[in-house]
A and B are shown apart, each in its own frame.
Chain A
Amino acid sequence: MNQIWKTSRVWFDRLGGLFHKGQRDTEFAAELETHLQLHIDDNLRAGMTPEAARREAILKLGGLEQTKENYRDRRGLPFLETTLQDFRFAFRMLRKSPGFAAVAVLTFALGIGANTAVFSVLDRDLLRPLPYPDADRLVLLGMLIPSFDSRPFLFTSSYLQLARGSTPFESIASWRAGVSGCDLTEERPSRLACVRAESTFLATFGVSPILGSYFSAEEDGPNAPQVCLISYALWKSRFGGSGATPGQTLSLDGRPTRVIGVLPKNFEWPTLARVDVILPEAISAAERTDPIAGVVRAYARLKPGVSMAEARAELAPALEGWRGASPSMFRKEIRLGLVSVREDQVGSIRLALLVLFAASLAFLILAAANVANLFLARGAAREHELAVRAALGASRSRLIALQLTESTLLGTFGGMVGAGFAFGLLRLFVALAPAGIPRLAQAGFDTGVLFFVVGASLLSGLICGLVPVVTSQPVRALRAGPSLGPRRARLGAVLVTAQVAVSIVLVVAAGLFLDTLRNVETVPLGMDTSNIVTAEITLGRAYGQFRASAEFFDRLETRLRDLPGVTSVAVSDSLPPTGAERAHQFSDIRVDGRPPLPKGTGGLLGWRIVTPGYFEMLGIPILEGRGFVPSDQDEHAAALVVSKKLADRLFPGHSAIGQPVQLSAPSGPWYTVVGVADDVTCLNESGRVGRTDPEYYVARKRLSVLGTAPESGERHAFFLVRSPMKSAALERLVRGQIASLDSTLPAEISTLTARVNLLRVEPRFNAVLISLFATMGFLLAAIGLYGVLAFLVSARTREIGVRMALGAKPGSMLAMVVWYGVRLMLGGLAAGAAMAFAIGHLLEKLLYGVSPLNPAIASAAALLLLFAGLAACYVPARRAARVDPVIALRYE
């Protein structure tokens, strides 16, 4: 202990020895001087001559400088001092060539910044541990029915059966799929995000409330008084973070609910949705027995040591049971869904992020190659200086250390500037990002990202610094002046070729993503989205089931219609290009005079409830018959409009108009087809054309007949308002009207165009970012090519002068340089094209309407690069052509 204390004290002192060196040196010099004087005094007293006295004293000391050197070594930390000295020197060198330093730092900054920004997103999503203990054992499981839902789910009765039996899981829990809005009905009402989960939920995730407790199985019982857990944020805002919260009561949708616990601050709902309140799942008796009454998502924790493959095998028998209990139309496509929670969260976006990271890495390589080229040119210019240093006795390792220090310093500065650049880029990400990138809002700078920046900076600095070192030939340099050594020329050529290759891959990728974006944006939607403002409204439960909410919607419709400048208003319960929210099985429909279809066949059938203005508003053509008229909204009216797809399926070859159709056979009401509307396109969440089911439309009933027909308004509706006025003004007007009816009602108001574009965010995100990297990378490659050629010309000025003196034409000199540049590029283009073809298929899933092996895009990219390359060749080539032989030969 004592020893450690002493050692650290010594090191501390020695570290201190690095400072105030001048003062300390003077002090020691004075001390030695006294020493010598005292010694000389003694010697003189002993009778020596003054010269002898001094000589003897110095001799006895063992040399003045030697002593000082030993003392200094003991005082400071020699290794650190050398390094510091190198740094100071490097700093001085860079200050002497600010242009070089600025270009190198900026280039590094671009490369490192881009990577840091992408990495900070990637890190959050793909690398950072989830906020649950042993999160790698947490899985989402269930049936996977791709045409129905992209994520696994279970029917409630199947789930209960599974949970009762033996499973490969230590713990299993379910929740009712979907976060729903619920209203805090108190003096300050607000809409909260509520979920219903099983009593085992938190325990399965290994999370405990910071206050109170989670609910027990009894509290999840049918007759128990309602309890809930609240999020940390709600606890802070509603209860002021008071410790006495558990036991207090909230009014949720008008129902008193006792708060029994508070969730931790870092708690994340496994789907990453915002959750304010967790309520008990409250599974009804019907859901327990009816095989398809309720739908849940099931999460589980694997037993320790059980692999996914083992769990999969163990669940195989259960899958058969689930299949048997499911509607027959799905049976064929049912598969077992078993994914880790992380996979479930990032699965769809992983590929996009990895591609983005690869693009940013490629960009960093381009940047580093440029800096390496700069170093190469500079190395040639400095070779003489370094050779002189070597001749004066600097060891090779010391010289290498010196150059590496310099490049590392540049890398570090680049990293610092790059961090700032990354910060800006991250904001761009957030602005562009699809909602599918989880946790993007949290992405930022923390230790992990910091390590990445430091690592990237040092590594790129070191690698670039090695370039001049491996190519330097000090002995040659002393003989000749600055020259293009063969090693250096070869390395420069290799670097440029590599740059061209990498940038063509980037440009091809950018082309593919831009084409994808264009294809996505030009998908014919089958409707006209211009000049329409939409308002999506979900009324709170306080409005009750029918009357109050329908009254509200009716009043709002009237008010919007009366707004000055509004030409038409329509109301619907769902809105393309999103598929219909209501659907039933195709086999439920029956045409008069035909036998019923076999149950569970024919896939799904969507339907929408719309007002008469709907078709005209969206510009959906009525191909045959008519759209709805106000009389279709009467109580006993039974008009039906079918989509073209449905008409073709039900009545192939003859007209659908006037045909009687029973919608929910065998007991449902009969309708008469009055019109056929053209199909509208359904887009999926990434903007691609999704599954388009046949659809039909029924007219929304008027208030006077409410409560008697299922088509009465429910709590959720879209209002469509068309007006020639500016959309921002119209949005404000609509918002004002809604607020005047109910000031606390949240409404999602935007233009229909913006709504549709939301679905195209992901392809736009990919296209914009990859194009950004490709453009910057391609510019860097052009600059790199320019640099190498310019260097080549200046190094060969003498040779060019000789050739011209011997009769070569300026034009042939120009051609020589351009040809050299083109040769470098052609090599790069060939290599790059091969690379692009080799890795193209990896992008396939992210593309739409374009093959990864698209020759048009590849050749366009090659031409683009070639032209840019020629432009980059031109300036140095012209300089070569203008070399004056007389001056060139007099040179040196």
Chain B
Amino acid sequence: MGDKADVWRGTLALMILKTLETLGPLHGYGIARRIEQTSGDLLSLNYGTLYPALLKLEQEGSIESEWGVSDNNRKAKYYKLTRDGRKQLEREARDWRQAQAILAKFLSAAQPST
């Protein structure tokens, strides 16, 4: 299902979910920062695109949000994983790994013949 844009957006959603699983409740800026850092700054993320993605995940019920206070005492909106989100993460991570494995096999098999 979905087209190429969805794959990319889906990937971003997966990264968000994983981040929240690893770090627990986190605000938007924190999530953005974490994704950038984890990618070893290879991925340059336009932070603005994060918010529609967060909204979509929230609309789908994978995450929920609530206002809290940040480390440096600022009022921030914290996102956290729901039960549905955890399941979605598991499923999508598995799918992703599978796809990756298939692709990897395909690439390594294809190489000698060229």
Identify the A interface with B (CB < 8 A).
6, 9-10, 13-14, 27-28, 30-32, 34-35, 37-39, 41-42, 60-63, 66-67, 70-71, 73-75
State in angstroms the CA–CA spacing of A31 and B70 once bound together: 12
Q: In the complex where A62-B46, A67-B48, A71-B52 touch, is A34 in contact with B59 (Cβ < 8 A)? A: no
CB <8 Å contact, A34 and B52: no
Tell me the smallest distance from the CB of B6 to a CB of chain A, in Å: 13
Closest B residue by C-beta to A13: B59
B27: Cβ under 8 A from any A Cβ: yes
| Chain A residues with CB below 8 A from B29, complex form | 34-35, 38-39
Closest A residue by C-beta to B76: A34
State in angstroms the CA–CA spacing of A615 and B35 once bound together: 112
B24: Cβ under 8 A from any A Cβ: no
Tell me the smallest distance from the CB of A270 to a CB of chain B, in Å: 57
Q: Which of A32, A34, A71 contacts B75 (CB 8 A)?
A: A34
Identify the B interface with A (CB < 8 A).
27-30, 33, 46-49, 51-52, 55-56, 59-61, 70, 72, 74-77
CB <8 Å contact, B76 and A38: yes
Q: List 28 A-B contacts (CB under 8 A).
A: A6-B61, A10-B59, A13-B59, A27-B77, A28-B51, A31-B28, A34-B27, A34-B29, A34-B74, A35-B29, A38-B30, A38-B72, A38-B74, A41-B72, A41-B74, A42-B33, A61-B48, A62-B48, A66-B48, A67-B48, A67-B51, A70-B51, A70-B52, A71-B51, A71-B52, A71-B55, A74-B52, A74-B55
Closest B residue by C-beta to A5: B61
| Chain A residues with CB below 8 A from B70, complex form | 34, 38
> DSSP majority for the A interface?
helix
Tell me the smallest distance from the CB of B20 to a CB of chain A, in Å: 16
Tell me the smallest distance from the CB of B14 to a CB of chain A, in Å: 16
CB <8 Å contact, B48 and A70: yes
| Chain B residues with CB below 8 A from A10, complex form | 56, 59-60
| Chain B residues with CB below 8 A from A30, complex form | 75, 77
State in angstroms the CA–CA spacing of A13 and B70 once bound together: 28
State in angstroms the CA–CA spacing of A71 and B54 once bound together: 10
CB <8 Å contact, B60 and A6: yes
| Chain A residues with CB below 8 A from B60, complex form | 6, 9-10
CB <8 Å contact, A61 and B77: no
| Chain A residues with CB below 8 A from B48, complex form | 61-63, 66-67, 70
Tell me the smallest distance from the CB of A892 to a CB of chain B, in Å: 51
| Chain B residues with CB below 8 A from A67, complex form | 48, 51
| Chain A residues with CB below 8 A from B72, complex form | 38, 41
Tell me the smallest distance from the CB of B81 to a CB of chain A, in Å: 16
| Chain A residues with CB below 8 A from B28, complex form | 31, 35
Closest B residue by C-beta to A28: B51
State in angstroms the CA–CA spacing of A9 and B76 once bound together: 26
CB <8 Å contact, B47 and A62: yes
State in angstroms the CA–CA spacing of A663 and B51 once bound together: 105
| Chain B residues with CB below 8 A from A35, complex form | 27-29, 47
Tell me the smallest distance from the CB of B76 to a CB of chain A, in Å: 4
Closest B residue by C-beta to A36: B29
**Looking at A32, A35, A42, which has the most chain B CB atoms within 10 Å of its CB?**
A35
Tell me the smallest distance from the CB of B2 to a CB of chain A, in Å: 11
Tell me the smallest distance from the CB of B44 to a CB of chain A, in Å: 9
5 smallest A-B Cβ distances: which pairs? Answer: A62-B48, A67-B48, A74-B52, A62-B46, A13-B59
Closest A residue by C-beta to B84: A6
Q: In the complex where A61-B47, A62-B47, A63-B48 touch, is A37 in contact with B74 (Cβ < 8 A)? A: yes
Q: Which of B30, B56, B75 contacts A74 (CB 8 A)?
A: B56
CB <8 Å contact, B59 and A9: yes
| Chain A residues with CB below 8 A from B27, complex form | 34-35, 38
Closest B residue by C-beta to A9: B61
Closest A residue by C-beta to B77: A31
Known contacts A35-B29, A75-B55; 20 further A-B pairs (Cβ under 8 A): A6-B61, A27-B77, A30-B75, A30-B77, A31-B77, A34-B29, A34-B74, A34-B75, A38-B27, A38-B30, A38-B74, A41-B72, A41-B74, A60-B46, A61-B48, A62-B49, A66-B48, A70-B49, A70-B52, A74-B55
**Looking at A13, A14, A73, which has the most chain B CB atoms within 10 Å of its CB?**
A13
Q: Which of B47, B49, B77 contacts A34 (CB 8 A)?
A: B77
| Chain A residues with CB below 8 A from B77, complex form | 27, 30-31, 34
